[in-house]
Structure 1
C-alpha cells in the first residue's frame, strides 16, 4: 500500500502546515476571551486540505471526517468562510468558498468496506494553549486499520515543522520530520528495564483522565519521574518512540 501511504503522508503534512500557521496567530487575548475561532478555522482548513489531497490521489476512496460545511454555507458565516479561504490561500491553495465547502463535505461519507477516517485536529485545548495536538488519518479496510498517519506539529525540533508518524499493518512504524520526509527512521520504544525509572504519560486535562488515581498507581509502582503530560494522540507517539514507558487513561468519575 505504498501509494496509499504516500498519499496519506502528503495530506497530513499539508494540514499540519496550515494548523501551525493558525496556531501561531493565537495570543493571550484569544485565550482570555476563550475564543475558539482559531481552532475552528484550523479544523475546517485541515479537513479541506486532507480531503482535497485524497480526492486528487485516491479519488475513489470515501472519507469519514469530523466536520461538515453546513455552517460555513450560512449567509451570516461568509466572513468566517473567508478566513478559512485566506488560510488556504496562504498555503498556496486558492479556491472559492463553494469549492472549499465541497472539499470539507467530502469528509461526510458513511463508513464502508474501505474508507479513510480523519480527525483534522485532535487535542483542541492543546492547540489553543500552544501545546501538543495531532492530525490523525487512517485507512480502514474491512474493519481493520491498514494504514495510519499521525501528524504531530508540536513535536520534534521547532524548525522541523513537527513529526509525522506512519504505520502500515505488518510493516512497522516510521517517523520523519514534516519538512524532510526522506529523513525517516523506524520508531524505537524505550529500553527502560526498571519500573522505578519508568515515565508515565497522561493527559494534561484532569477531566480526561483521573490524575489522582494515576498518582496512586505511580506510587505503588515506585515511579520517581514526574508524569509526562500532553494533549492528543501525541501521547501514543511519545510512548511508541521512547519518550515514555507507560500510558494511563483512567475513567473520571461522573
Structure 2
C-alpha cells in the first residue's frame, strides 16, 4: 500500500465499528438523550461510538492525536502533527427523531490540513471517502466503492443549491443574500449536515453552504469534496479549516465553476 491507503483502510475499520453501535441504537426505545451545555442533544450512541473509536485508535495509532466532539482533545504523542478528528454522529437531531440522515465523520489531519476523510451513513446504506491525491469514492463499503465526481454545471440559473438552515444565515447577517441566491438558482433545498456535501461530491447538486461549523463537522468532508473535483473554502475564500484549525468555521463547497459567484454573493454581511 502507498500514500494514504493504510489510513483509509483504518478509517473504514473505525467506521465499521461505529456503524455497528449506532445502527443498533437507531430508533431504540431505550435510547438516552441529554442536553449538552450549548443545549444541543447528545445520545448514548454518540458517546458509545466515540469511546469505541478512541479505544481502537489508542491500540492501532497510539502516537496520533485525536479530537472528538464528545470527549475533546488528546494531543499527539508521536512526531508529525497527525491527528484524527471524529464526529461520532453528525446529525444527532435526526438520529434521535428517527430520521435516517446521520453519519459518523472520520478525518485524518496533517498539521491543519485534512488529508483523509470518511463519511459513513449506515441508515442510508452508503459511505463516502477520499484521500489527498487518491480520488473520492462512494459505495456501501470499502470493497464496493466507485469513483465520484462533481457536476459540470457552470451557470447559477441551472444550479441546485443546498444549505443548512436560514436561521444561521440570519444570525450571520447574510439572510438577504441567501434568499436572493435561492431565487436565482434552479433549485434550492436544505438537506443539512454532511449530506449536502456528499451529494455535491457525487454531482447530484452543485453548491452547499453553511455559516458556522466546528472542526469535527467539516474536517472529513473536505477531502471527499476536493478529491471529487470540487472546491471547499470558508466565506472569505480561505481553505477550511483555516489558520490553526480551531474555533468555528464557515463553509462554501461547490463544483468549482460556481465558486467565485457564490463567494461574491455571500462573502460580505449586510446590515440587519
Preserved contact between residue 19 and residue 120 of structure 2 (Cα < 8 Å): yes
Change (3 A) 1:26 1:216: farther
Distance 1:111 1:2 in 2: 21
Aligned residues: 199
Q: Give runs of aligned pairs for residues 16-55 of structure 1, distance below 5 A.
A: 16-25=19-28, 35-36=33-34, 39-55=42-58
Q: Give runs of aligned pairs for residues 1-254 of structure 1, distance below 5 A.
A: 1-25=4-28, 35-36=33-34, 39-68=42-71, 108-110=73-75, 113-129=81-97, 130-155=99-124, 162-177=125-140, 180-203=141-164, 205-210=165-170, 213-219=177-183, 221=184, 223-225=185-187, 227-250=188-211
User: Residues 177-200 of structure 1, C-alpha deviation per residue, up to 9 Å, x if partnerless?
Assistant: 1xx421111112124455333211
Preserved contact between residue 63 and residue 76 of structure 2 (Cα < 8 Å): no
Distance 1:26 1:248 in 2: 34
User: Residues 114-169 of structure 1, C-alpha deviation per residue, up to 9 Å, x if partnerless?
Assistant: 111111122222222314222111111132222111222343xxxxxx32211111
Deviation at 1:228, TM superposition (A): 2.5
Preserved contact between residue 33 and residue 43 of structure 2 (Cα < 8 Å): no
Distance 2:96 2:169 in 1: 19
Query: If the length of structure 2 is used for normalisation, what is the TM-score?
Result: 0.63
**Structure 2 unaligned runs (5+)?**
36-40, 213-268
Preserved contact between residue 95 and residue 101 of structure 2 (Cα < 8 Å): yes
Change (3 A) 1:196 1:12: same
Change (3 A) 1:40 1:142: same
Change (3 A) 1:26 1:234: farther
Larger Rg: 1
**Structure 1 unaligned runs (5+)?**
69-106, 156-161
Distance 2:103 2:138 in 1: 14
The alignment yields a C-alpha RMSD, in angstroms, of 3.0
Preserved contact between residue 63 and residue 115 of structure 1 (Cα < 8 Å): yes
Preserved contact between residue 163 and residue 175 of structure 1 (Cα < 8 Å): yes
Query: If the length of structure 1 is used for normalisation, what is the TM-score?
Result: 0.67
User: Residues 3-59 of structure 1, C-alpha deviation per residue, up to 9 Å, x if partnerless?
Assistant: 1211111102321232222122269xx8xxx95489420111110221222233323
Distance 1:36 1:124 in 2: 11
Distance 2:168 2:13 in 1: 31
3-state SS in 2 of match to 1:137: strand
